[in-house]
Amino acid sequence: MIDYSKFEVEDFITDESFGEWVKGESDKHTAFWEFWLEAHSEKKEIVKQARQLLEALKNQPTAINDDEISIEVAKVVSQVEEEQPRLFFPWWGKVAAAAVVALGIGIWFWSTFVPNTPAMVATLPLNSTTTKNAKVEVINNTNSDYTASLPDGSTVVLKKGSKVSFIEKFVGDKREVFLTGEGFFNVVRNPAQPFYVYANGLVTRVLGTSFTVRAYAKDKEVIVAVKTGKVMVYSLSELKKSEQNANYQVQSLYLTPNQQATFEREMEKFNKALVDKPTILTKPVETPNFTFENTPIAEVFQRLKTAYGVDIVYDAEVMKNCSVTAPLGDESLFTKLTIICKTIGARYEIVETEIVVSGRGCP
């Protein structure tokens, strides 16, 4: 077991677990470091310095290799030490210099070799006889996300290299778009004209909501993740069957906020699950309160369910004597659950779109 209590700034920066925590991509590391800091408050200032330096280095848009950066950093550190031999220059100051060098190199490289190419918007006639309602194709050729506006006021945020196509004006009883790559849709509600997204053999149908579709041509799977509202997904082959037979009942899957569907293209099979990072549902009036003080476990789980829209299954009789005292706040849902379960001696697992909590109860 690593004794982090003896670590200095340079030790934290080179530690893998600490680095994962700073990235914010691992609930396991997040829970560990939050507990550790609570128990070692004397290290908070050193941890703060280490975290700031890691974030400064992490966010530089540089494509230059590590060897080139190391050479430039060594030059700067050497120069500073020669010019200020009598001044105290701690290790973390050298890392700060490295961050400055990386920033300078990154900006130079980006401005010199990576031009800011705008997204390509092409307007093509639907056929040779009519150009009244032409087809529009938007390709994101930039190095960041690009927001494309749709004819009805809806928007789609396209990832780099992604493409969306649609007609200039939505007509008839459908709003239809075709996606290749990944896009986050924010759809204006219109029950009279449902919104359809076609992507790699998958059809996503909504009235008005926000959701992400990931459908790259090389991927064997298509993923639809819902942020707000309700979404219906089904295969393109199911749509064709319904078009051929008016009485055919489409085999579909419904998704609600913080749920996602993974569509296996080859087998035309769906898997339903929670999204990787559930977010708090948007409510205009109510602000979720996660400060618990000797709060019964039933109320704790109910608050989480209300905030995230996720079902939490547990044995109410076994855990009726359990209560939680914990000042929780902006942690992820899974981090909150980890802390709560540790408090009551329980564990949780994710079963499709539900969270199942099990334990022996409390005395």
Q: What is the domain-level CATH number for residue 236?
A: 2.60.120.1440
- Do 136 and 106 have their domain in common? no
- How far apart, in whole angstroms, are the C-alpha atoms of residue 208 and residue 206? 6
Helix (H) or strand (E) holding 313: strand 311-313
Query: Domain range for residue 171?
Result: 120-274
- Do 344 and 295 have their domain in common? yes
**pLDDT tens digit string along 69-127?**
333 344 444 444 444 444 444 544 555 555 544 445 454 444 434 444 445 554 444 43
The last residue of one of the domains, among 248, 274, 300, is: 274
The last residue of one of the domains, among 90, 113, 136, is: 113
**pLDDT tens digit string along 33-73?**
777 787 778 888 888 888 877 776 554 443 333 333 333 34
- Do 20 and 101 have their domain in common? yes
Helical segments of the chain, H only:
9-13, 16-23, 27-39, 44-58, 66-83, 91-113, 236-244, 297-308, 333-344
- Do 268 and 126 have their domain in common? yes
With b for 16 or more beta-carbon neighbours within 10 A and e for fewer, the 225-239 pattern comes to bbbbbbbbbbbeebb
- Do 152 and 270 have their domain in common? yes
The last residue of one of the domains, among 113, 128, 149, is: 113
- How far apart, in whole angstroms, are the C-alpha atoms of residue 196 and residue 183? 13
Q: Quick one: pLDDT at residue 69? A: 37
Lowest mean pLDDT among 116-130, 216-230, 299-313: 116-130
Calculate the average pLDDT of the chain: 78
- Do 205 and 174 have their domain in common? yes
Both tokens assigned to 76: 């700067």
Looking at the domain assignment, is residue 286 inside a domain? Answer: no
The alpha carbon dihedral of 67, 72, 74, 77 has a sign of negative
Q: Quick one: pLDDT at residue 268? A: 86
Q: Quick one: pLDDT at residue 331? A: 85
Closest CA to 164 of 143, 144, 185: 185
Looking at the domain assignment, is residue 284 inside a domain? Answer: no
Which residues lie below 8 Å from residue 291, measured CB to CB, with a gap of 6+? Answer: 327, 328, 329
Contact 166, 136 (CB under 8 A): yes
- Do 136 and 266 have their domain in common? yes
Looking at the domain assignment, is residue 220 inside a domain? Answer: yes
Q: How far from 287 is each of 42, 227, 237, 296, 325, CA to CA, in Å?
A: 33, 18, 43, 20, 19
- How far apart, in whole angstroms, are the C-alpha atoms of residue 126 and residue 178? 14
| φ, ψ (nearest 5 deg) of residue 322 | -80, 140
User: pTM to 2 decimals?
Assistant: 0.57
